[in-house]
Structure 1
């Protein structure tokens, strides 16, 4: 796909259809293979990146085909620390949104990595997650499980520490879960979220549109991540958002009110579906693999959901490690606390 931003309304709509088609095609043909990690070629670009790029201290278990159902009848896959609640620990929750036509297993490496750092990660098995409706359903599901004496999650979850993250269309979903969740979600991470022109082509759920309204966000925090080689998720745009709408991460970022802590960065060389990659880049259309994302995505949630001051050092305005890491470009942050 060309990285040129279309200039007229007609060409913009045509470009949106092309982008959506490409995104759907890429996601549809990826695999869900999760090989054991071999010695990776990737080398983290800083101490914080390296800390959270490494697997966390928790052994990971997975539930699939057991937990059901969202308001639209979809089941959940859940990655979680095998020794839930050890030492009296209550685990933060991350609700995940798949990209168009994708399923949770295609993100298994990333989601398992997050669980190894003590998070319970729940992913609705839904291929259109842009509204955030099913992602919020997943949060409700775990809230009920936390109160259920018969659940493995009973009294093991920190239901006041919940984040949302999603890929591509799921990035819209993560943002919408934060904006529409009435406080159920406190932070959102969008990964390769497409230009806003795409959202009108995506289905509504329960009367909710997948289109996001960054300027309407009043609370929480947001991390916007994209790949520099991703033609469907651009870092910058040649014309102001006032003329063509937010068709880039910089425009989304600028539209979020200054009162909301926010950061953005582009992983250099990463394409749209690298977030689905495994070490060694084994999936179709993978150019860099998932490795480059692991450190800072984990650090963001360690900071926002567990109050980890070391992890916060990656994102501090001016001095944050991600702002000076040569693996990343187009960085910005307002994080001060």
Structure 2
């Protein structure tokens, strides 16, 4: 590891995450799209959303689960895919409320352990197990409303590490993973004071053998870099580019950098509140791409899928994004 990387880590460690139908909006088969994929899924989806903090108990550390879900869940016999969420270090699910509510408005049931220590991914998988139990419980609002065959994992910073680890260890339960602002591997190997034990947990993308993965970062993050200072084979994955390169080509994978946002903009609202010097642009720029990926991988949305096709997909022509790469064809 270079001296520059070590100094960068020492300076930035504390920033690790401070704390209708589902197809509505997409064109009908054979119809010309009225909007781009990005514009379609950046907008609020067709479902009203209910949020319940502390809905159920508990992960192995005793932390309750928060949930976001369509208010009329299960209407007309519809079953809803699950997304399990991992917080950044020192962060809580309510800090990601805008993003998680947006996903639920497109028909997903989102569950998040209120745990600031999600790097292992196990708490995220325990949240999935909890919802599967709810799906079998006649007294639960989720009774027979969940598509338990389609589970995704998403997370920010340390939660992005947990997202990748959950996908690796789930035995195929997690169909797709979206690590957001995934820190370089140097962050879990430095001999520095750490906020908690989970900071020693790394994620090895070479062990991901099933499902799919989308690596997303903001260009303004000093922790989740876009490109490698040296090839990942020499120094390990230290950037989105490095994690993408180290992920086996047998796995469907994509990566892209949103130009502008810093490490914690994913926590925000559209735009930045007054007197928040840490906010650059807020969450808005992330919404369309993150939602479209999950619509593709968990709901089989062909229109959303088209955005990620290598070279030809809409993601590759958008000036708001850079460093795009994908092995997805057709």
Q: TM-score, normalised by structure 1?
A: 0.88
- What residue is the counterpart of 1:105 in the other structure? 94
Partner Cα separation in structure 2 for residue 290 and residue 7 of structure 1: 32
Residue 245, structure 1, aligned to residue 236, structure 2: yes
Do the aligned residues in 2 keep the contact of 1:70 with 1:138 (CA within 8 Å)? yes
- What residue is the counterpart of 1:59 in the other structure? 48
Deviation digits for residues 5-64 of structure 1 (CA, Å, limit 9, x no counterpart): x624xx54443333322335xx13xxxxxxxxxxxxxxxxx7100000010000000111
Do the aligned residues in 2 keep the contact of 1:139 with 1:184 (CA within 8 Å)? no
- What residue is the counterpart of 1:174 in the other structure? 163
- What residue is the counterpart of 1:335 in the other structure? 328
**1:194 aligns to what SS in structure 2?**
coil
The counterpart of 2:175, out of the listed 179, 186, 189, is 186
Deviation digits for residues 76-108 of structure 1 (CA, Å, limit 9, x no counterpart): 110000001011100000000001100000000
Matches within 5 A, 1:204-219: 210-219=201-210
Residue 266, structure 1, aligned to residue 261, structure 2: no
Do the aligned residues in 2 keep the contact of 1:191 with 1:225 (CA within 8 Å)? yes
**1:186 aligns to what SS in structure 2?**
strand
Partner Cα separation in structure 2 for residue 269 and residue 89 of structure 1: 38
Do the aligned residues in 1 keep the contact of 2:16 with 2:158 (CA within 8 Å)? no
Question: 5+ unaligned residues in a row in structure 2: which ranges?
Answer: 20-34
Partner Cα separation in structure 2 for residue 336 and residue 145 of structure 1: 37
- What residue is the counterpart of 1:41 in the other structure? none
Residue 303, structure 1, aligned to residue 296, structure 2: yes
Change (3 A) 1:202 1:247: farther
Moved over 6 A (4+): none
**What is the RMSD of the two structures over their aligned residues, measured on CA atoms?**
1.7
Residue 124, structure 1, aligned to residue 119, structure 2: no
- What residue is the counterpart of 2:26 in the other structure? none
- What residue is the counterpart of 2:27 in the other structure? none
Partner Cα separation in structure 1 for residue 84 and residue 201 of structure 2: 16
Deviation digits for residues 204-260 of structure 1 (CA, Å, limit 9, x no counterpart): 56xx96211111211110000001111111110221223322111111100000000
Q: TM-score, normalised by structure 2?
A: 0.90
- What residue is the counterpart of 1:83 in the other structure? 72
Residue 312, structure 1, aligned to residue 301, structure 2: no
- What residue is the counterpart of 1:220 in the other structure? 211
- What residue is the counterpart of 1:7 in the other structure? 2
Do the aligned residues in 2 keep the contact of 1:281 with 1:289 (CA within 8 Å)? yes
Partner Cα separation in structure 1 for residue 162 and residue 138 of structure 2: 31
Partner Cα separation in structure 1 for residue 129 and residue 152 of structure 2: 13
How far is the alpha carbon of 1:66 from its aligned partner? 2.8
- What residue is the counterpart of 1:286 in the other structure? 279
Change (3 A) 1:202 1:259: farther
Change (3 A) 1:176 1:202: farther
Do the aligned residues in 1 keep the contact of 2:271 with 2:284 (CA within 8 Å)? no
Partner Cα separation in structure 2 for residue 209 and residue 133 of structure 1: 15
The counterpart of 1:321, out of the listed 304, 310, 314, is 314
How far is the alpha carbon of 1:280 from its aligned partner? 2.5
Q: Report which structure shows greater RCO (CA 8 Å, sep ≥6).
A: 1
- What residue is the counterpart of 2:145 in the other structure? 156
Partner Cα separation in structure 1 for residue 200 and residue 122 of structure 2: 10
Do the aligned residues in 2 keep the contact of 1:202 with 1:210 (CA within 8 Å)? no
> How many residue pairs are counted as aligned between the two chains?
309
